Amino acid sequence: MENKFTEQELVRRQKAEDLKNQGIDPFGSRFDRTHNTASFKEEFKSFTKEELHDLEHPPLIKIAGRIMTKRIKGKAGFAHIQDQYGQIQLYVKIDNVGEVAYDLFEKADLGDIVGVSGRPMITNAGELSIKVENYLHLVKALRPLPDKFHGLVDVEERYRRRYVDMIMNEDSKNTLILRSKIIQAMRNYLNNLGYLEVETPILHSILGGANARPFVTHHNALDMPFYLRIAPELYLKRLIIGGLDCVYEIGRNFRNEGISIKHNPEFTMMELYLAYSDLEGMMDLTENLVNSVAMSTLGTTSIPYGDKTIHLEKGWRRAHMVDLIKEETGINFFDITDFEEAKRLANEYKLHVEPHLYGVGHIINLFFEAFCEAKIVQPTFVYGHPIEISPLTKKDPLNPRFTQRFELFIDSREFANAYTELNDPIDQLERFENQLKEKALGNVEATEMDTDFVESLEYGMPPTGGIGIGIDRLVMLLTNSVSIRDVLLFPHMKNRSK
């Protein structure tokens, strides 16, 4: 591999050599800071220029960061350094730091990391800054940063070199930080309610818990194939059977499907189960959880999203899927029980019916997706999913064609999926058998028979409410992000041959 350096890279490498020759490690080590840019600004924000200037014993500030701008004016100069929290201006004067250090400062490049000690000051232009007394080179950046004014704009580069994106674009960094805070807020909320966070296997030998195409891998010692999980559901339910009353897991699911503005092959879910609860319990919990997370991270429940404002305040609409279809098309699927009639309607409305679809419920789902989903803007619990598309959900006792399931939609997008969990092992066995039939008819997303799970149900699972919430999408909503890639630290990209 032959490296061809650009002119700027050669200059920087030479500067690193020069530092070494002066006895300075170009990639230095520990520097103990007294402040970061945020704590420094917080501590001195109320001082006037004169007050800082007249302090009898001005405190010594030790701070470090990456040089983002530099303005040399002869024997003095200014620079902004950046850390996690923001930027602070340095005032470096040859009289204060000495000739040797000033020379280092003059030769420093944008992107280098430095540590300084100095005193707080306010410049003539009114900016709180640090009058540097001791200037220390810490790390040489061998590559130049993007344009200090325009930043890194190229979308591909922003995802491939996320670290450069984070250095140059404060919005990107803040979004990713907010992601952590949202997940933390979720944990806090659930832990305070007594939920137990658990970790279940990611390698699954049986495909289940959702309908999706899996990634397949192989375990050498056992010489057997494994799936990367598409959902943790069946393991979490086993914990409910085992006697844990309320559990949740936050973790990665893997689905071998298309990549898009709202899909990444690995995505983060929060899945939760509460014994002795049901669908209504999950609706209440979802409203409370999302409100709590929004308040603690953003301080509001009115969320700007694109050109809309999403209102998360409690009291979300709760609508039966069949009623929504009736609103949009006038068709009342409560009255339609014959598959051929449903199929005729689908054809009439130009909906394509795949060969593995065998029930009226499948057609209902097609109608919902085609005519209702895109109309939903404000948070809406859509409940009453047909039994055909809900293999793990308890039937509606009043109308067994439908199940006690809801999906939460916000701005046409699914955010959560919840059930009154199916705890009847005999029914569950039938559902698995139906899934096998679909698989035989060509549904690549049908789940597999999990006899061990059926067995576990035979020991008795308490009535249970369960829910999965898509974390990435929630983060997108709360950070006003258009693409899921904007809320993933490192979104997947195709390899680029260089």
Please report, as residue ranges, which positions from 458 to 497 form the binding site for RNA (by CB under 7 A).
470, 472-473, 482-485, 491, 493-497
State how far the alpha carbon of 229 is from the alpha carbons of 17, 208, 247, 268, in Å: 50, 8, 18, 12
Who contacts 207 (Cβ-Cβ below 8 Å, separation ≥6)? 214, 227, 230, 447, 448
Taking each continuous run of H as one helix and of E as one strand, the counts in the chain are 16, 18
- Site for RNA contains 414 (CB under 7 A): yes
Length of the chain: 498
Residue with tokens 């009114």: 126
In angstroms, what is the minimal distance from the CB of 404 to RNA?
17
| Residue among 28, 47, 110, 336 that touches RNA (CB under 7 A) | 110
Q: Which of residues 302-341 bind RNA (CB under 7 A)?
A: none
Q: Which stretch binds RNA (CB under 7 A): 134-142, 145-153, 174-182, 194-202?
A: 145-153
Quick check: 214 and 227 in contact, CB under 8 A? yes
Q: Is 347 a residue that touches RNA (CB under 7 A)? A: no
User: Given the complex with RNA, which of 7 and 335 has the nearer CB atom?
Assistant: 7
Q: What is the DSSP letter of 260?
A: B
Restricting to residues 152-191, which ones interact with RNA according to CB under 7 A? 152-157, 159
Cβ–Cβ under 8 Å, residues 265 and 254: yes
Site for RNA in 207-266 (CB under 7 A): 210-212, 255, 257-258, 260-265
The one among 40, 61, 66, 78 contacting RNA by CB under 7 A: 78
Query: Greatest CA separation found in the chain?
Result: 91
89 Cβ contact partners less than 8 Å away, ≥ 6 residues apart:
78, 79, 80, 123, 127, 128, 129, 130
Residue 352, classed as helix, strand or coil, is coil
Tell me: does residue 72 bind RNA (CB under 7 A).
yes
When binding is defined by CB under 7 A, the residue of 37, 89, 390, 428 that contacts RNA is: 89
Residue from 91, 248, 316, 406 touching RNA (CB under 7 A): that is 91
| Candidate segments 69-77, 173-181, 233-241, 310-318, binder of RNA by CB under 7 A | 69-77
Say how many CA atoms lie within 13 Å of 312 toward its Cβ.
Answer: 22
Tell me the closest approach of the beta carbon of residue 267 to RNA, in angstroms.
3
Question: In the complex with RNA, which residue's Cβ is closer, 192 or 495?
Answer: 495
Per-residue binding letters, 11-50, with RNA (x by CB under 7 A): x---x-----------------------------------
Among the listed ranges 76-84, 233-241, 321-329, 421-429, the one in contact with RNA (CB under 7 A) is 76-84
Rounded Cα gap, residues 494 and 489, in angstroms? 16
Asked if residue 77 lies in contact with residue 92, where contact means CB atoms within 8 angstroms, the answer is yes
Which residue number, 37 or 129, has a Cβ lying nearer to RNA? 129
From the CB of 484, what's the least distance to RNA, in Å?
6
- 494 three-class SS: coil
E strands, 126-258, where? 128-139, 196-197, 203-204, 216-219, 224-228, 246-254
Residue 82 binding RNA, by CB under 7 A? no
CA–CA gap between residue 105 and residue 329 (Å, rounded) = 71
Please identify, using beta-carbon distances, which residue of 64 and 475 lies nearer to RNA. 475
Q: How far is the CB of 460 from RNA (least distance, A)?
A: 28
CB distance 108 to 78 below 8 Å:
no
Exactly one of 31, 47, 267, 305 binds RNA (CB under 7 A); that residue is 267
* One residue of 151, 425, 462, 463 binding RNA per CB under 7 A: 151
In the window 415-434, what residues touch RNA (CB under 7 A)?
A: 417
Alpha helices per DSSP H over 315-424: 321-329, 339-348, 360-371
E-strand ranges in 148-265 read 196-197, 203-204, 216-219, 224-228, 246-254
Does the footprint of RNA cover residue 107 (CB under 7 A)? yes
Residues that bind RNA (rule: CB under 7 A) add up to a total of 79
| Using rule CB under 7 A, residue 146 touches RNA | yes
Binding segment toward RNA, per CB under 7 A, in 90-98, 331-339, 375-383, 429-437: 90-98
Using rule CB under 7 A, residue 441 touches RNA = no
